[in-house]
């Protein structure tokens, strides 16, 4: 009994450390961004201010789905991670990506400004919501970039609505539930709403959510998305669009899992003999799961080169 108690205490401590680390990283990122925006240093070159995004709520499958449109050009859809918002996930990269692209960022069911409704949150239903949003915006085909939970949603968008996806980017995401490391799966299964108190995640939820009191139910529904076993091997193998897979080397996702997805997408061949494939696999060194989206320079280089390359 004493051994079990010690293990439970240690597990709880590790979970709290993980969430606190997540919160700290995003808090640092937001502070850096704010410092850059409000710095008193006079710029040496005048730069035109970015146009404010077009924002709205789309009536999608019973939801009032919040979205933003930044810039102009080839459409690029951004799908955030679990418990996250547009800004917390993509705030560091939208300004650059939107210089040459029409960036369509949205907040999935129950997240940010999109109110939850009386239906389960699943990868499949969120993917259908994304496809309906594109129809609402009269976008026939777009590139789709998903991070963490959003990466698995992006895979489902490409599988369920192949005509809507030109290129696919899956960052720090799994196509099977056992792709997460055992420690990460345990942390997800034992996550409680109170662990997220006093974090940027809870702060943003209180600020943006239509009903801040819904937070405990929201956490439980989102937790179930990853805690419920799933296997999208068949869907991953069936995709026709070029695919970029991005992981951190300390991501909480097994590197072998990323390699398996790469193989399902036609990668891991001898390019000198077989020729180049439509799939790419990038592992960011010294990078954790929550750190992937903070590797701004690396991400922008890898992502823009992939998106700009001609479709073979």
Looking at residue 34, what is its pLDDT?
35
Residue 22 is predicted with a pLDDT of 47
Angle at 170 between CA 168 and CA 171, to 5 degrees: 145
Q: For residue 51, what pLDDT is reported?
A: 77
27-54 average pLDDT score: 43
The model carries a pTM of 0.85
Confidence band (pLDDT; 50, 70, 90) for 23? very low
Tokens of 25: 């990283």
Return the pLDDT at 272. 58
Summarize the confidence of residues 204-226 as an average pLDDT. 95
What integer best gives the mean pLDDT of the chain? Answer: 86
Residue keyed to tokens 């996806």: 165
Confidence label for 190 from pLDDT (cuts 50, 70 and 90): confident
Considering only 36-40, 101-105, 235-239, which range has the smallest mean pLDDT?
A: 36-40
* pLDDT of res. 36: 34
Looking at the domain that runs over 2-36+53-308, which CATH code has it been given?
3.40.50.1820
Number of other CB atoms surrounding residue 79 within 10 Å: 32
Sheet containing 243-250: which strands, arranged edge to edge? 54-60, 63-70, 101-107, 74-79, 142-147, 165-171, 243-250, 279-288
State percent of the chain over pLDDT 90: 74
Higher pLDDT, 269 or 273: 269
Q: What is the pLDDT of residues 274-305, one digit of tens each?
A: 556 789 999 999 999 999 999 999 999 999 99
Q: How confident is the model at residue 269 (pLDDT cuts 50, 70, 90)?
A: low
Domain positions in the chain: 2-36+53-308
Q: Tens of pLDDT along 225-246?
A: 988 999 999 999 999 899 999 9
Query: What burial class does residue 263 get, using C-beta atoms within 10 Å of its C-beta: 0-12 exposed, 13-18 middle, 19+ buried?
Result: middle
**Segments in 57-214 forming alpha helices (H):** 86-90, 94-97, 123-136, 149-160, 182-189, 200-208
More confident residue, 247 or 2: 247
Span 159-168, average pLDDT: 98
The confidence score (pLDDT) of residue 158 equals: 98
Strand blocks (E) in the chain:
54-60, 63-70, 74-79, 101-107, 142-147, 165-171, 243-250, 279-288
Reduced to 3 states, what is the DSSP secondary structure of residue 268? coil
Q: Residue 122 corresponds to which tokens in the numbers above?
A: 């699943």
pLDDT of residue 154: 98
Q: Which of 83, 121, 79, 58 is nearest to 204 (CA)?
A: 83
Q: Check residue 189 and give its pLDDT.
A: 85
Contact 239, 265 (CB under 8 A): yes
């Amino acid at each position: 009994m004493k051994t079990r108690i010690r293990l439970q205490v240690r597990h709880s401590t590790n979970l709290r450390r993980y969430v606190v680390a997540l919160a700290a990283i995003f808090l640092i990122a937001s502070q850096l961004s704010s410092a850059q925006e409000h710095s008193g240093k006079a710029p040496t070159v005048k730069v035109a201010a970015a146009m404010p995004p077009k924002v709205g709520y789309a009536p999608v499958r019973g939801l009032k789905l919040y979205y933003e449109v930044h810039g102009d050009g080839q459409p690029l859809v951004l799908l955030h991670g679990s418990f996250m918002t547009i800004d917390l996930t993509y705030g560091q990269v939208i300004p650059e990506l939107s210089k040459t692209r029409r960036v369509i960022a949205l907040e999935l069911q129950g997240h940010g400004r999109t109110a939850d409704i009386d239906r389960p949150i699943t990868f499949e239903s969120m993917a259908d919501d994304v496809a309906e949003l594109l129809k609402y915006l009269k976008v026939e085909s777009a590139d789709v970039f998903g991070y963490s939970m959003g990466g698995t949603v992006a895979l489902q968008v490409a599988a369920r609505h192949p005509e809507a996806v030109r290129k696919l980017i899956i960052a720090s995401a799994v196509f099977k539930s056992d792709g997460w490391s055992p420690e990460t799966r345990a942390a997800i299964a034992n996550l409680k709403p109170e662990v997220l108190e006093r974090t940027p995640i809870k702060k943003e939820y209180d600020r943006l959510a239509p009903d801040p009191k819904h937070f405990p139910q929201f956490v439980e529904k989102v937790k179930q998305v990853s805690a419920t076993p799933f296997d999208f091997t068949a869907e991953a193998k069936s995709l026709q669009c070029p695919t970029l897979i991005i992981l951190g080397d300390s991501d909480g996702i097994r590197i072998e899992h990323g390699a398996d997805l790469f193989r399902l997408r036609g990668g891991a061949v001898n390019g000198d003999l077989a020729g180049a494939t439509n799939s790419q696999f990038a592992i960011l060194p010294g990078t954790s799961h929550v750190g992937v989206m903070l590797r701004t320079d690396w991400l922008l280089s890898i992502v823009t080169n992939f998106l700009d390359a001609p479709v073979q």
